[in-house]
Amino acid sequence: MRHIVTSLCLGSTLVLSACGGQDTAELDAAFKAVNVIDESGLNDIMLNSPDPNEAVRYFERASAENPDRVDLRRGYAKSLVRAGKATQANSIWGQIGESPEATDEDRQWALWTHLAPLLATVITSGTLVPLAIGWALYVLYVPGKQRPFVADHAREMLNFAISYLIYWTVGVGLVALLSFGLGLLLFIPFLVVLGLVGTIMASIAAAKGRYYRYPMTIRFVNAPETTDHPRA
């Protein structure tokens, strides 16, 4: 159907040009409008391409040639997600300043996915750190079941919570053993800063409708490759 419309637009342009004597500038503008219509159809096709890497190459080239086209950068980010290159996609979404299809309710859920464990940890002096894993699982499989943006943040919190727990148990033990306890003077403050700064940054990103990736995090749980949202 789109190709039919494109053909009609092109034919109309040629007829009007012949009858009305349009100048070259007007004719070029008309052809440009037709190309935009046809290109938007190609963008839709590439976003649903069975080969996400092909879509990545297309949108990467198109974005480089048209740096002011937000729709092309949006398509580039989505194709990167489908190709499993979420870190790059996260960077692109950050540049655009918006997240795909994230509603206000999605942002609230994503925000509290990170903020709730942080507040619980601060209030209880760290005794509820393991509960962050349970909270992340709940968000992932209940509200996140129908909300890809929320699910992505829940997966990231889950990965960070597990990694953080490992650092506080196995990591602290190894550092104490290898440094005769002296290394803990640096390692423990480092873990505290990592937890605070990482969680605050994740909360800010979620509130703005952006994706976030914690540093020093082992990704035990990855998103399905077919999703349109990053594992960044």
State residue 120's pLDDT score: 85
Residue that the structure tokens 């104490």 belong to: 176
Residue 39 pLDDT > 70 = no
Of 229 and 47, which is predicted with more confidence? 47
State residue 7's pLDDT score: 46
**What tokens were used for 204?**
């800010």
Nearest to 210 by CA among 62, 91, 69: 91
Biggest CA pair distance of the chain? 91
Query: pLDDT class for 99, splitting at 50, 70, 90?
Result: low
Query: pLDDT class for 101, splitting at 50, 70, 90?
Result: low
**How far, rounded to the nearest angstrom, does the alpha carbon of residue 17 sit from its chain's CA centroid?**
45
Least confident of 21-25, 31-35, 103-107, 175-179: 31-35
Nearest to 88 by CA among 79, 97, 99, 98: 79
State residue 124's pLDDT score: 76
Average pLDDT in the chain = 78
Query: pLDDT class for 183, splitting at 50, 70, 90?
Result: very high
Residue 81 pLDDT > 60 = yes
How many other C-beta atoms lie within 10 A of the C-beta of residue 28? 11
**How far, rounded to the nearest angstrom, does the alpha carbon of residue 179 sit from its chain's CA centroid?**
39
Residue 126 pLDDT > 80 = no
State residue 95's pLDDT score: 65
Q: In this predicted model, what pLDDT tens digit does every residue of 192-202 receive, in sequence order?
A: 999 999 999 99
Least confident of 17-21, 137-141, 180-184, 209-213: 17-21
Own/partner contacts of 219-224, CB < 8 Å, gap of 24 or more, are 219/159, 220/158, 220/159, 220/162, 220/163, 221/155, 221/158, 221/159, 222/155, 223/86, 223/151, 223/152, 223/155
